[in-house]
Amino acid sequence: MKNRKNMFILAIVALVLVLGVGYALVSSTTLTINNATASAADSTLKVVYDGNNSATTTKLTTVTAADDSTSATFTITGMVLNEEIPVEFEIKNKETDVNANVNYPTTFTNSNATNFDAKLYYKSCALADSCTYSEWTSGAKTLNAQAVATLKVVVKLKQTPVTNEQSSTTINVSYTASAAQ
């Protein structure tokens, strides 16, 4: 009976070890075991622009938002006084099991703030009834695993440019993301 009990305990210990090693082999996270202490390697969340950008104007001269990037830049030129042009960028949380906090952009610059106004808006359609844009001025927004959100920058010509150099603006929007708790 005692021998059977020892064999059963040994089988349980072996099973736990096989499951731990098996998980480490099939997961995308590096598992390091030192002195019976396990720790997962830290990695950056994959919350990025997914390459879907849109604007309904020919006044948008340059858009740079590479797929899998966290930075977007665009230039607008040839606007008339009080005209507003929206430019949209989709952000996707490509993680399969981690919700993310998309932090207010670390960079939100307007190269010609004298003549142009730029506002940032955010929309996530996780809940069907909350699928509207809201102005984003600070803080973080939660983006569920595999979900898509949209950043919209609205550029408005607030003052007529005097020279050709003043007739365009370049907007840059870069953000970071962290794991939601």
Q: Note the pLDDT tens digit of each residue in 136-170.
A: 999 999 899 999 988 899 999 999 888 777 888 99
What's the pTM value of the predicted model, to 2 decimals? Answer: 0.69
DSSP annotation of 6 reads H
pLDDT at 36 over 90: no
C-alpha torsion angle, residues 130, 132, 136, 138 (rounded to 10): 0
Coil, strand or helix at 127 = coil
Q: Which is more confidently placed, 41 or 165?
A: 165
Q: Where are the alpha helices (DSSP H) in the chain?
A: 2-26
Better pLDDT: 64 or 115:
115
Highest mean pLDDT among 3-17, 57-71, 130-144: 130-144
Average pLDDT of the segment spanning 25-50: 60
Q: Which of 34-43, 63-72, 81-90, 110-119 has the lowest average pLDDT?
A: 34-43
**Residue 164 DSSP symbol:** G
**Residue 65 clears pLDDT 70, i.e. is over it:** no
What pLDDT, in 10s, does the model give residues 94-123?
998 899 999 999 899 999 999 999 999 998
Identify the pLDDT of residue 45.
Answer: 77
Among 62-66, 113-117, 176-180, name the one with the lowest average pLDDT: 62-66
Q: Give the model confidence (pLDDT) of 46-62 as tens digits.
A: 888 776 677 767 888 76
Find out whether 67 and 48 touch, Cβ atoms under 8 Å: yes
Is the Cα dihedral 46, 52, 55, 61 positive or negative? positive
HSE toward the beta carbon, residue 65, CA cutoff 13 A: 25
Contact 158, 80 (CB under 8 A): no
- CA-based nearest residue to 166, from 110, 82, 119: 110
> Under a CB-based contact definition with an 8 Å cutoff, are residues 111 and 147 in contact?
no
Q: Is residue 83 very low, low, confident or very high in pLDDT (cuts 50, 70, 90)?
A: very high
Model pLDDT, residue 42:
47
